[in-house]
A and B are shown apart, each in its own frame.
Chain A
Amino acid sequence: MTEPNFLAKALTETAITRRSFLKWSAALGGTAALAGGMNYGLKAVKEAAAQSVEELKTVGCYHNCGGRCILGAVVKDGTVVRLVPDPTPKSEENLDSNPRAIPCLRGRSQIHRVYAPERLKYPMKRVGKRGEGKFERISWDEALNTIADQMKRIKDKYGNEAFYYQYASGSNWNGPDSGNAVTRLLAMFGGFVNMYGSYSEAAYGQIIGFSTSGYSGNSADDIPNAKLVVLIGDNSVVTRAGGDNAGYWVMKAANQGTKFIIIDPIMTDTVMATQAQWVPINGGTDVALLAAMAHVMIKENLYDKEFMATHAVGFDEDTLPEGAPANSSWVSYVMGRGPDGIEKTPEWASPITGIPAETIASLARQIATTKPCAIYQNWGVQRRAYGEQIVRTVPIIAAMTGNFGISGGNSGNVMNGGYFPMSGIPVPENPVKASIPCFLWPDFVSRGEQMTSALEEGGVRGVDKLSTGMKFMWNHAGNMIINQHADVNLTTKILQDESKLEFIVTSEVAMTPSCKFSDILLPETTGFEADEIITGEGHGMKGNHAWALYNHQIIQPLYECKGIMWAAGQLADRLGFGDQFRDGHQTSDDWMKDMVATAQQAIPDFPSLDDFKKTGIYKISNPEPIIAFADFRADPVAHPLQTETGKLEIYSPALAKLNNPKEIPAIPMYIPEWEGVSDPLREKYPLMMMTTHFVARSHSTFENVDYLREAHPQALWINVRDAEQRGIKNGDMIKVYNDRGEVHLPAYVTNRIRPGVTNMPQGAWYSLDANGVDVRGCGNVLTNYRPTPYARGCTAHTNLVQVEKL
């Protein structure tokens, strides 16, 4: 039996080589392609290092799913051996108030993200055309000098309104190495043009103030109190899978037997896992469905008349505000007495939505008579041509059915979230007041001087008009400058005109498609390579709980990677305000002490920085679910909403004043989409295409990770019927195209999407073959750079395409 012994010996030798190599790389900042042999090394390292002591250190997953999950890194001899989920002892876990933040599959793959072959290894400058991906290695000194010189030159020539800090979300921690280091630098340099809205929830965030004002609904831990749960465009078990825990509460409700109704063109994993009644609607027609349901409720007297009379504006003619025209109420619209004269019956809605009329009627009765019923929308439903309309419609149904402001019900808004009271790196007030809708940054590049405060001219805020186009962009931990923005081929043209946007800096951990369009690349450290603090702030965590996490540095920085705080400080030195920038903070600890102090102000027993490093995790939880607008329900006079009228605004006087009734009506209406179900363009491009969030990625983060690419390959979801018509079988390579571009990828031929609708999950890295065709499945090659009417937001789910077998 010499052979097996030989193999075993080879294994041991591989282990030692591997281990030495890792140590060498860490010590020297090695420049070899470290990740090349990664797969075989780690277990062997463990065996070879059997005598040494394993340490467990907390690290985080810190991207933009909202989860900010807690991981324990098993570290041996300076090498990370494996990851374990949230090491909070199960004995201390109180499932009802604070479930462990168990990371999803993405967090579990972090080792392979850190050691990925795509890591940026040293600073580089572009030598080819933007997008070509030709770069030359340079020193940190040269990179920083170049950036400083360009900043000075561009400021002298164009002023600070030519500077922009790009929307990005790859690295979502408090820091010290956060994007705030860059905005702090730019603000101290004289400022930069601000942005408003987001790619995720522009329509929701900008329009909800005209309905309920308050952003959020009941917290996710209230869902198990519902008898019936209705989700509209929400795939929580995927998009809020890990520590965020919205998925956890959804599944808890489903497992206790709560019935779910989910309205979605796709039988999502949430539909599947909750064993929901699936309502496979045509995308972009949800308002028509809800209007028809309202019709049934009104006709059959199945709604809360008293609440609508006392708490809402513009439900019927009696509650219209002064000055509103006759027949402009919701009831008039639904019952056919509005300007369009169309009665919004289930029979009317059926051909639009694709849902049989009797199903619509039965849904209406079920939702109206099951109490309490929790109706939640999520952002997927509003990243569409007229996204604002559905956002304002869902609260009406929640109110009509008596569920607004009660436990087990919901206002129709998105789930409420926890918040951890700790600040990040402070950014001084930005001297530049101009702000653009973040989705419209290519307009800022191509026609900035023409962008004004008029919505259709750019929706600029803070100033009447911009003084210049964008000349300098800093893109930190972001893939928005090509991959995650609509219409890649159009963006390519805009960026390749170097007379427009003159200089792009990207600070990143990996060679993303956006890097290839940048002029200088700065290699960043990942969470394994630096000490950082991570908190779940804002609406990220939807389980009514939050935590602060000490993310330990567990390996030496790879290659020549540095943290962004260091790089920004170096630039501040070159620009002459280094001392002001550092403000007495010489080390990461100095910054983190300040962060900890802000937490201690809110939570007196929050530990010192030293103690926090030892414990790693600090959790807070609210034992009671948040019931949004309960006080308003109890007494609308004493506790008005923060709307113009203090009530639930079905009719918004402010929106009426915009005088754009076709696209921004005073009451929400069904507006047929361009490139939607009824667009005549379907004769040429018959299939609707969405670009939903994907289980294996947080936007485009993790897309390059081998474990995740293997677990969930990119593919176009297409219905069995549509595939059969085209001779396409599951797994076949197909061509997806429209006038904007062409993508080649495999087909996922399934019953789990309605006929006529396809889905190319967002985030795949734009990669061209020799013929200039994307072969990795980047949906934005096909999406439309056309904003929603009010928010000027992203419409990534509204597209028409054709599909052919390759």
Chain B
Amino acid sequence: MAKQLGFFVDINKCTGCKACQVACKDKNDLPTGIRWRRVFQYEGGQWVNQGSSVIPSDVYAYPVSAACMHCQNAVCTQVCPSGAMYKREDGIVQVDANKCIGCRYCSWACPYGAPQFNESLGVMTKCNMCVDLVDKGQRPACVEACPYRALDFGAVDELQAAHGNFNAPAPLPDPNITNPSVVYNPNKVTKFTGDTSGHIMNLEEL
């Protein structure tokens, strides 16, 4: 049995530029409005008076690059009535466009917003980890694109062995829902899932 594949995101190296998102859209020819990879800007803190100065108090910000998590408990596959959403032996979750009826149940079920409806095609679409490249031994477009080498992919157990098993940075949802195949390396200001001290700043990603 092939090992479950997943992504690794090093928040210490990410600058929030979205080269990953643009490379994904270029590779997969995605129309405006569909973003298989998104980069959330999470920000918190406040400005306070100190004497005659106004200074930042615990002001923090960090980016979270997120695509389909190719979850071990892929709820999208469970709710799909046509059997279009399926998990490969290596754990990559993808849509069979021939079977998809565009009902969108998967997008309602997925806490990460990964499956997205393509109006012009009439089917659900989502990150498939560039399965065509992966099958040729290459790396997904987003991983290859990062100017700061913040992204990687591979067998999740190997990523965990190398980088730990943290998979719950705010503003992402509780990983217990779907058991995502992802590892994040948090930076020193990264908050945990459920955090309410900050909010997502870049509204275009919502």
A interface residues (Cβ-Cβ under 8 A, vs B) = 1, 3-5, 7-8, 10-11, 39-44, 82-85, 102-105, 108-109, 111-112, 237-238, 241-242, 247-248, 251, 254-255, 267, 269-270, 272-273, 275, 278, 280, 350-351, 354-356, 359, 695, 706-708, 710-713, 719-721, 730-731, 748, 750-752, 754-755
Contact = CB atoms under 8 A, between A and B. Distances in A.
B179 interface: no
Contact of B148 (A248, A275, A713, A750): A248
B26 A247 contact: no
A775 to B, nearest CB: 18
A605 B82 CA distance: 62
A356 B55 contact: yes
Nearest to B28: A43
Contacts of A1: 82, 99, 101
A275 B189 contact: yes
Contacts of B23: 83, 85, 105, 108
B154 interface: no
A40 B84 CA distance: 21
B53 A272 contact: no
B32 interface: yes
Given A248-B147, A272-B62, A11 B46 contact: no
Contacts of B122: 7, 10
A636 B94 CA distance: 67
Contacts of B29: 39-44, 82
Interface stretch (B7-15, B108-116, B159-167, B170-178): B7-15
Contacts of A719: 47
A4 B82 contact: yes
B54 A4 contact: no
Contact of B32 (A39, A102, A248): A39
A3 B187 CA distance: 47
A247 B15 contact: yes
Contacts of A44: 29
A82 B133 CA distance: 13
B134 interface: no
A40 B13 CA distance: 33
A4 B84 contact: yes
A720 B16 contact: no
Contacts of B19: 103-105, 108, 241
A4 B52 contact: no
A692 B148 CA distance: 22
Contacts of A104: 17, 19, 147
Given A11-B121, A102-B145, A251-B15, A750 B22 contact: no
Given A11-B97, A251-B13, A39 B59 contact: no
Q: Which among B32, B53, B187 has the greatest number of chain A C-beta atoms within 10 A?
A: B53
5 contacts: A8-B97, A44-B29, A354-B54, A711-B18, A754-B47
A750 B97 contact: no
Interface string B114-127: 00000011110000
B55 A269 contact: no
A750 B47 CA distance: 10
Nearest to A710: B32
A711 B147 CA distance: 16
Given A5-B98, A40-B31, A719-B47, A273 B14 contact: yes
Contacts of A41: 29
Contacts of B135: none
A241 B97 contact: no
Contacts of A85: 23, 144-145
A707 B46 contact: no
A710 B204 contact: yes
A4 B17 contact: no
Nearest to A711: B18
Given A82-B26, A102-B147, A731-B203, 16 more contacts: A4-B123, A7-B102, A7-B121, A109-B22, A109-B26, A237-B148, A241-B17, A255-B12, A710-B32, A711-B204, A750-B201, A751-B44, A751-B59, A752-B61, A754-B54, A755-B54
Given A7-B97, A720-B47, A730-B201, A105 B53 contact: no
A231 to B, nearest CB: 14
A108 B22 contact: yes
Contact of A751 (B14, B45, B98): B45
B21 A105 contact: yes
B47 A4 contact: no
A750 B56 CA distance: 11
A730 B46 contact: no
Contacts of A267: 56, 59, 61
A269 B16 contact: yes
B22 A4 contact: no
B47 A711 contact: no
B79 interface: no
A285 B4 CA distance: 54
A84 B27 CA distance: 9
Contacts of A103: 19, 147
Given A8-B97, A712-B18, A707 B54 contact: no
A105 B18 contact: yes
Nearest to A356: B53
Given A1-B82, A4-B100, A751-B46, A237 B56 contact: no
Contacts of B51: 356
Contact of A111 (B26, B120, B145): B26
Contacts of A751: 43-47, 56, 59, 61
A713 B16 CA distance: 14
A276 to B, nearest CB: 11
Given A43-B29, A84-B144, A102-B145, A238 B43 contact: no
Contacts of A105: 17-19, 21-23
Contacts of A40: 29, 31, 120-121
B50 interface: yes
B101 A3 contact: yes
B31 to A, nearest CB: 4
A720 B46 contact: yes
Contacts of B120: 40
B75 interface: no
A278 B56 contact: yes
Nearest to B120: A40
A708 B18 CA distance: 9
A605 B114 CA distance: 50
Given A3-B101, A4-B123, A7-B122, A269 B148 contact: no
Contacts of B30: 39
B146 interface: yes
A693 to B, nearest CB: 13
A251 B25 CA distance: 26
In order of increasing CB-CB distance, the 3 nearest A-B pairs are A43-B29, A39-B31, A42-B29
Contacts of B201: 730, 748, 750
A43 to B, nearest CB: 4
Contacts of B21: 105, 711
B22 to A, nearest CB: 4
A280 B56 contact: yes
A268 to B, nearest CB: 10
A269 B13 CA distance: 11
Nearest to A705: B22
A44 B15 CA distance: 32
Contacts of A270: 15
A8 to B, nearest CB: 5
Contacts of A8: 97-98
Contacts of B98: 4-5, 8
A707 B22 contact: yes
Nearest to B14: A273
Interface string B89-103: 000000001111110
A695 B147 CA distance: 13
Interface in B27-49: 27-33, 35, 43-47
Contacts of B141: 82, 84
Nearest to A41: B29
Interface string B45-77: 111001111111001011100000000000000
Given A4-B123, A355-B53, A275 B13 contact: no
